[in-house]
Amino acid sequence: MIHINFTISYIEIYIFFINLITFIIYSIDKFRAIIKASHNRISENTLLLLALFGGIIGAIISMIFFRHKIKKLSFILKFIIVFIIQCLILYYLKINHII
């Protein structure tokens, strides 16, 4: 008989939900951009912070799926910086055996 030990840590739950939330927020911003609700858009700083706090995968998927913010060079450059910062944080956590 095969036994599969499947446990989910709090970090994995957090990563799942922050990516889901990030995907939804990017989607909402894209929808608002389509209907020209410029007064009610989500700020780029909020989008970047969601990515920085662990939602980078949700952000990338949303950007590709909805073709959102992919033509805005200033946002892409900031996004790349956020991605690099997140990679450095993950590397630091990994080498110190925190995760």
Q: What is the pLDDT of residue 27?
A: 95
Q: What is the pLDDT of residue 97?
A: 83
Tell me what the mean pLDDT of segment 39-53 comes to: 93
Radius of gyration of the chain (CA): 16
Residue type, 1: M
How far apart are alpha carbons 24 and 14 in whole angstroms? 15
Q: Cβ–Cβ contacts within 10 Å for residue 84, how many? A: 10
Chain-centre distance for alpha carbon 18: 7
Q: What is the pLDDT of residue 1?
A: 62
pLDDT at 37 over 80: no
Short-list 56, 57, 61, 21, CA closest to 42: 21
Read off the pTM.
0.85
Q: What is the pLDDT of residue 77?
A: 96
| In the chain, where the domains are located | 13-33+40-95
Tell me what the mean pLDDT of segment 60-78 comes to: 93
